């Protein structure tokens, strides 16, 4: 048994040492520094949005002990992610794990660099599931919860599996009292959007809607009890141009059920802007399809 524990202990220490060159210190807030992770060799760094308290005078502590200026590329408060870039720095890119490798009960290591040296803490994956909407409005591609103790300065740091691969970055800001990890799939989506546009683009229909119970026969047929009753259609909006009317009830967008205004907001991702979506609408007791070109929220 002692040999097994020693082998495990040595492996965890080796993983921490291996990821250390990819973990940076974020001097981006008034109190204790936080942590960031190298995303690519072009100097792109990802961290938690809530630890980046200003847009300029951002300093990044590198693994070699030096400190360089960081430029804010953009931020997405809804997923608590911020992207920075540093110039002329030799950075090591970690191996980002595929989500298919994650299972509840797996051992994980959280790593932080609030000081010059890295720190680590051990835990297990306590929950893992597909997309989850956060209380601050964002939608994660995956919901990954651990029992890792988030020490001060660990936000924005990596969570590693037993193989030393980075599963995502840790945050304590999305759910009160819960340590969540933003997986690489969500990070990739946010980073690519911010690098291209400098902000998170959001789709826009121009309707005000509220949840309403569907007729029993329709609810049974759709396997869906609630739809979205349109209360307002903004003049000149994509919804008006597409032929939506006040009193219509939207039940689906491109085959995806809509049961609340939040689900509609989350469905209107930036990649839909300028594209035609098919809305399944209940009008006058009959279901019909209406095509609408998604606009961009200002």
Q: What is the CATH number of the domain that holds 226?
A: 2.30.42.10
What pLDDT does residue 202 have?
87
Torsion, CA 109, CA 113, CA 116, CA 121, rounded to 10:
-30
Q: Are residues 195 and 47 in the same domain?
A: yes
- Tokens at 270, concatenated: 């930036």
Q: Which residues form the domain of 292? A: 203-296
Q: Which of 22, 48, 80, 141 is catalytic?
A: 80
176 catalytically annotated: no
In the chain, the percentage of residues whose pLDDT exceeds 70 is 97
Looking at 131, 164, 199, the residue that finishes a domain is 199
Reported confidence tier of residue 132, pLDDT bands at 50, 70, 90: low
| Residue 49: closest CA among 133, 169, 145, 140 | 169
CB 151 within 8 A of CB 112: yes
What pLDDT does residue 205 have?
96
230 beta partners: 209
Higher pLDDT, 252 or 297: 252
Q: Are residues 95 and 235 in the same domain?
A: no
What is the distance between the alpha carbons of residues 270 and 274, in angstroms, rounded to a whole number?
9
What pLDDT does residue 1 have?
73
Q: Are residues 74 and 208 in the same domain?
A: no
- Tokens at 127, concatenated: 């929950």
Q: Are residues 147 and 255 in the same domain?
A: no
Looking at 149, 181, 199, the residue that finishes a domain is 199
Looking at 166, 199, 232, the residue that finishes a domain is 199
DSSP 114: S
Q: Are residues 7 and 44 in the same domain?
A: yes
| Residue 128: closest CA among 106, 147, 148, 104 | 104
What is the distance between the alpha carbons of residues 127 and 73, in angstroms, rounded to a whole number?
31
Domain harbouring 130, CATH code: 2.40.10.120
Domain count, the chain: 2
Decide if pLDDT at 219 tops 60: yes
Q: Are residues 188 and 211 in the same domain?
A: no
95 catalytically annotated: no
Coil/strand/helix, residue 215: coil
Q: Which of 22, 78, 155, 179 is catalytic?
A: 155
Q: What is the mean pLDDT of residues 129-139?
A: 60
Q: Are residues 114 and 168 in the same domain?
A: yes
Q: Are residues 254 and 127 in the same domain?
A: no
Q: Are residues 138 and 276 in the same domain?
A: no
Q: Are residues 75 and 162 in the same domain?
A: yes
Higher pLDDT, 64 or 262: 64
- Tokens at 275, concatenated: 């594209």
What pLDDT does residue 131 have?
63
Question: Could you tell me the pTM of the whole model?
Answer: 0.79
Q: Are residues 263 and 140 in the same domain?
A: no
50 catalytically annotated: yes
pLDDT digits (tens, 9 = 90+) for 233-286: 999 999 999 999 999 999 999 999 999 888 898 788 888 999 999 999 999 999
3-state helix, strand, coil in the chain (%, to 5): 20, 40, 35
What is the distance between the alpha carbons of residues 209 and 250, in angstroms, rounded to a whole number?
9
CB 27 within 8 A of CB 60: yes
Reported confidence tier of residue 138, pLDDT bands at 50, 70, 90: low
Q: Which of 22, 50, 141, 172 is catalytic?
A: 50
- Tokens at 247, concatenated: 């009193």
Q: Are residues 153 and 73 in the same domain?
A: yes
Burial of 163 (0-12, 13-18, 19+ CB in 10 A): exposed
């Amino acid at each position: 048994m002692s040999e097994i524990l020693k082998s495990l202990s040595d492996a965890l220490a080796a993983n921490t040492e291996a990821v250390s060159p990819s973990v940076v210190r974020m001097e981006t807030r008034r109190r204790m520094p936080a942590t960031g992770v190298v995303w690519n060799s072009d100097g792109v760094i990802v961290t938690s949005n809530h630890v980046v308290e200003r847009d300029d005078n951002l300093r990044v502590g590198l693994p070699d002990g030096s400190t360089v200026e960081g430029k804010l590329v953009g931020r997405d408060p809804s997923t608590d992610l911020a992207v920075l870039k540093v110039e002329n720095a030799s950075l090591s890119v970690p191996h980002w794990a595929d989500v298919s490798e994650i299972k509840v009960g797996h051992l994980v290591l959280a790593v932080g660099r609030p000081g010059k040296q890295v720190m680590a803490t051990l835990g297990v994956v306590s929950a893992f599931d597909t997309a989850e909407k956060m209380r601050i409005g964002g939608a994660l591609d995956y919901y990954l919860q651990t029992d890792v103790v988030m020490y001060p300065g660990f936000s924005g740091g990596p969570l590693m599996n037993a193989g030393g691969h980075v599963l995502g970055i840790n945050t304590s800001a999305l759910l009160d009292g819960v340590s969540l990890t933003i997986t690489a799939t969500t990070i990739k989506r946010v980073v690519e959007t911010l690098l291209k546009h400098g902000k998170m683009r959001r789709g826009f229909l121009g309707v005000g809607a509220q949840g309403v119970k569907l007729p029993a026969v329709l609810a049974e047929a759709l396997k869906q009890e609630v739809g979205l009753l349109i209360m307002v259609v903004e003049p000149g909006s994509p919804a008006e141009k597409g032929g939506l009317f006040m009193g219509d009830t939207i039940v689906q967008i491109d085959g995806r059920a809509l049961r609340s205004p939040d689900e509609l907001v989350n469905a209107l991702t930036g990649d839909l802007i300028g594209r035609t979506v098919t809305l399944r609408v209940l009008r006058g007791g009959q279901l019909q399809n209406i095509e609408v070109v998604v606009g961009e929220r200002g």
